[in-house]
C-alpha cells in the first residue's frame, strides 16, 4: 500500500494534460455530495491553471452518453467520483481519442486505452469503501496539478463524509493536513471550514440534497458553487423546498410499505416505488433504502433490500435518452453486513452486477450498490438476484 505509484501515474497524466495543448475540460461528475465536492475541487484547480471547465453531472454512466461525449468532445475529459466501474467501457468508446482521467473510488475495471488514466487509489492498494472518497482522489490529484491547491483539502473531508467507517487511511492524512494548514478547525466537537463558516457535516448534508434530489432542477451546479463559495440564502431556500418534497414522498412510501409489506424471495426483500419520486433524482431511492435498512419493524435483518423506481429519460445538460429505465438500489441490513465482511454472504455490488448482467449497468460497494436497467426488466432482475444468491450459498 503506497501512494508513490499514484503520484507517479497522476504526474504522467498532468504532463499529458499540459502537452495536449487543449484548454477545454469536460468534467463528468457524480450527483451526490462526494461527486459535487469532487467536481468543485477539479473545477477550481483546473480553472486556476487556465482551463475552461464544462460540467456534466451524471447519476449513472449511461453507455449512450459516454459514447457520445467520447466521440464529440474535443478536449480533455475528467471523471470525478464516477467512471472507474466502467473503465473498460470508457476505454472502448474512447479508442485513444481524448485524454481521459478518472478520479474515482468505486471498484475499478481495467481500461486498455493508454490515453485513459484511471487514478483510482484502489489500483494502489487502498480501499474505496474505507480509506478514501472520490473527493479525496480529486484533492490528491489537484495537489499534483499545483501544490497551492492545498486550500481545497476541506472538500476531500466533505466528500469523505459518505464513508461509513469515519475518517481513516488517506482521509486521516488529509484531515491532519487540513488542520495543520488552518483550512478547518475543531469547534465544539465538529469540523468547521474556516473559509465558508460552515461545518463539514452540514455542508455534506446540504449537498446530499442539492445534487441527488435537485438533479433535474440545477441542484448540482448550485452544489458545486456552494462548495466553493458557501451556502447563500437562496441556496438554503432551494434545499428546504427539495427536502420537504423528498420527505413527503418518503413518508408516503413508508406508509405504503407498512400497509402492504415488502415483497420477499428466499434471500431478498424488495419493493417498487414506481413514479412516486418523479421530478427528483434517482439517488433518493438509495437514500430511502439506507433509511429502510434501519427500520427493524419493516425489514428482516438477514435479507438483501432492493428498491426500484422509474427514471426520467433525460440527462440535464446532455439530452434525451432512448428507452425507459428504472433505477435499482440494493442495501444490506446490519446483520448481513457482518456476513458480507466475513465472506459468508455475497457483496451487494456483486449481487447487482450478476443480477443485471446483459441488460443493466451496476456499480457500488460491498454494502450498497445501484443499477440502471430497462424498465421492463424489473422482475427479471429480482429473479436473477435470487438465483445468484442461491448459487452463492451452494458454492
Ligand atoms: Mn463517492
221 lies in a domain? no
Rounded distance from Cα 134 to ligand 1 centre (Å): 5
208 and 250 both lie in a single domain: no
Same domain, 262 and 171: no
Q: What is the 3-state secondary structure (H, E, C) of 13-70?
A: HHHHHHHCCCCEEEEEEECCHHHHHHHHHHHHHHHHCCCEEEEEEECCCCHHHHHHHH
pLDDT given for residue 62 in this prediction: 87
Considering only the C-alpha atoms of the chain, give the largest distance between any 2 of them, rounded to a whole number of Å: 62
Mean pLDDT, residues 85-94 taken together: 94
> In this structure, is residue 160 part of a structural domain?
yes
Task: Tell how far the Cα of 193 is from the centroid of ligand 1, in angstroms.
Answer: 20
> Would residue 240 count as lying in a domain?
no
Distance 269 CA to ligand 1 centre (A): 26
Assess whether 257 and 163 both reside in one domain.
no
Which three cell numbers, joined as nine digits, stand for 140?
Answer: 490528491
Contact 277, 304 (CB under 8 A): no
User: Quick one: 210 and 263 in the same domain?
Assistant: no
Tell me: do 113 and 55 sit in the same domain.
Answer: yes
As a whole number of angstroms, the distance between CA 251 and CA 268 comes to 23
User: Is the pLDDT confidence value at 238 over 80?
Assistant: yes
Q: Which residues contact 268 (CB under 8 A, 6 or more apart)?
A: 303, 304, 305, 306, 382, 385, 386, 389
Within 10 angstroms of residue 263's Cβ, the number of other Cβ atoms is 12
What's residue 312's pLDDT?
92
In this structure, the answer to whether residues 143 and 260 fall within a common structural domain is: no
Extract the C-alpha cell encoding 25. 475540460
Q: How far is the CA of 80 from the centre of ligand 1 (A)?
A: 9
Distance 368 CA to ligand 1 centre (A): 12
Secondary element (H or E) of residue 258: helix 233-260
Residue 239 lies in a domain: no
Cα 163 to ligand 1 centroid, rounded to whole Å = 8
pLDDT at 119: 96
Domain presence at residue 252: yes
DSSP 275: T
User: Phi, psi (5° rounding) for residue 133?
Assistant: -110, 180
For ligand 1, the distance from its centroid to the CA atom of residue 137, given in whole angstroms, is: 10
Q: Is residue 118 domain-shared with residue 256, that is, in the same domain? A: no
Q: Do 270 and 150 fall within a single domain?
A: no
Q: Which residues contact 338 (CB under 8 A, 6 or more apart)?
A: none
pLDDT at res. 110: 84
Query: What's the rounded Cα separation, in Å, for the pair 386 and 304?
Result: 10
Tell how far the Cα of 87 is from the centroid of ligand 1, in angstroms.
16
Give me the pLDDT at residue 98, please: 97
Round to whole Å and give the CA distance between 319 and 256: 34
Neighbours of 148 (CB within 10 A): 11
Domain co-membership, 175 together with 296:
no
Contact between residue 323 and residue 342 where contact means Cβ atoms under 8 Å apart: no
Distance from the alpha carbon of residue 185 to the mean position of ligand 1, in angstroms: 24
pLDDT tens column, 111-124: 889 999 999 999 99
Please tell me the distance between residue 133's alpha carbon and the centre of ligand 1 in angstroms: 5
How far apart CA 228 and CA 63 sit, in angstroms, is 31
Rounded-to-integer distance, Cα 376 and Cα 360, Å: 11
- Whether the predicted pLDDT of 395 surpasses 80: no
Do 115 and 206 belong together in one domain? yes
Question: What are the backbone angles phi and psi of residue 119, rounded to the nearest 5°?
Answer: -95, 20
Closest to 31 (Cα-Cα) out of 212, 257, 223: 212
From the DSSP assignment, how many helices (H) and strands (E) are in the chain?
A: 14, 16
Structure confidence at residue 1 as a pLDDT band (50, 70, 90): low
CA of 160 to the centre of ligand 1 (A): 8
Q: CA 57, CA 35: separation in Å to the nearest integer?
A: 8
Q: Note down the domain range covering 49.
A: 4-215
Residues 281, 200 within the same domain: no
Is there a domain that residue 45 lies in? yes
CATH at 280 = 3.10.310.40
9 and 86 in a single domain? The answer is yes
Give the CATH number, domain containing residue 13: 3.90.1640.30
Q: What is the pLDDT of residues 9-53, one digit of tens each?
A: 999 999 999 999 999 999 999 999 999 999 999 999 999 999 999
In a domain, 228, yes or no: no
Mean pLDDT of the chain: 95
Instruction: Identify the pLDDT of residue 54.
Output: 98
What's the pLDDT score for residue 157?
98
Q: How far is the CA of 214 from the centre of ligand 1 (A)?
A: 17
| Whole-number pLDDT of residue 107 | 85
Distance 350 CA to ligand 1 centre (A): 18
State whether residue 359 is helix, strand or coil. Answer: coil
Q: Is residue 223 part of a domain?
A: no
Q: How many domains does the chain have?
A: 2
Share of the chain above pLDDT 70, in %: 99
State in Å: Cα 148 to ligand 1 middle: 24
Grid look-up 490529484 returns 141
Amino acid at each position: 500500500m503506497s501512494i508513490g505509484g499514484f503520484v507517479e501515474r497522476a504526474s504522467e497524466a498532468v504532463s499529458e494534460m499540459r502537452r495536449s495543448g487543449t484548454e477545454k475540460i469536460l468534467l463528468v461528475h457524480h450527483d451526490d455530495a462526494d461527486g459535487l465536492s469532487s467536481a468543485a475541487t477539479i473545477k477550481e484547480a483546473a480553472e486556476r491553471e487556465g482551463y475552461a471547465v464544462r460540467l456534466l453531472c451524471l447519476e449513472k454512466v449511461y453507455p449512450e452518453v459516454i459514447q457520445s461525449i467520447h466521440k464529440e468532445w474535443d478536449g480533455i475529459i475528467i471523471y470525478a467520483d464516477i467512471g472507474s466501474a466502467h473503465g473498460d467501457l470508457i476505454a472502448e468508446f474512447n479508442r485513444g481519442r481524448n485524454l481521459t482521467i478518472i478520479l474515482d473510488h468505486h471498484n475499478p475495471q481495467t481500461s486498455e486505452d493508454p490515453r485513459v488514466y484511471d487514478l483510482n487509489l484502489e489500483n494502489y492498494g487502498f480501499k474505496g469503501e474505507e480509506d478514501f472518497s472520490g473527493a479525496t482522489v480529486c484533492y490528491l490529484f489537484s495537489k499534483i496539478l499545483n501544490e497551492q491547491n492545498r486550500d481545497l483539502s476541506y472538500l476531500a473531508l466533505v466528500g469523505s463524509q459518505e464513508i461509513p467507517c469515519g475518517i481513516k487511511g488517506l482521509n486521516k492524512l488529509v484531515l491532519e493536513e487540513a488542520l495543520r494548514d488552518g483550512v478547518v478547525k475543531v469547534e465544539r466537537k465538529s469540523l468547521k471550514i474556516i473559509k465558508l463558516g460552515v461545518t463539514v457535516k452540514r455542508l455534506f448534508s446540504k449537498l446530499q440534497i442539492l445534487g441527488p434530489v435537485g438533479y433535474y432542477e440545477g441542484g448540482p451546479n448550485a452544489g458545486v458553487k456552494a462548495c466553493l463559495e458557501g451556502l447563500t440564502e437562496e441556496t438554503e431556500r432551494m434545499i428546504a423546498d427539495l427536502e420537504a418534497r423528498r420527505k413527503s414522498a418518503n413518508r408516503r412510501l413508508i406508509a405504503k410499505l407498512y400497509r402492504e409489506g415488502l415483497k420477499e424471495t428466499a434471500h431478498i426483500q424488495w419493493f417498487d416505488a414506481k413514479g412516486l419520486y418523479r421530478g427528483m433524482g434517482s439517488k433518493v431511492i438509495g437514500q430511502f433504502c439506507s433509511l429502510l435498512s434501519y427500520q427493524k419493524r419493516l425489514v428482516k435483518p438477514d435479507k438483501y433490500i432492493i428498491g426500484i423506481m422509474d427514471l426520467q429519460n433525460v440527462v440535464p445538460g446532455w439530452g434525451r435518452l432512448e428507452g425507459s429505465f428504472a433505477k435499482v438500489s440494493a442495501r444490506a441490513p446490519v446483520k448481513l453486513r457482518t456476513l458480507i465482511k466475513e465472506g459468508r454472504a455475497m457483496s451487494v455490488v456483486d449481487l447487482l452486477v450478476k443480477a443485471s448482467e446483459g441488460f443493466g449497468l451496476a456499480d457500488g460497494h460491498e454494502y450498497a450498490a445501484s443499477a440502471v436497467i430497462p424498465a421492463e426488466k424489473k422482475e427479471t432482475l429480482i429473479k436473477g438476484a435470487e438465483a445468484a444468491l442461491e448459487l452463492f450459498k451452494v458454492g
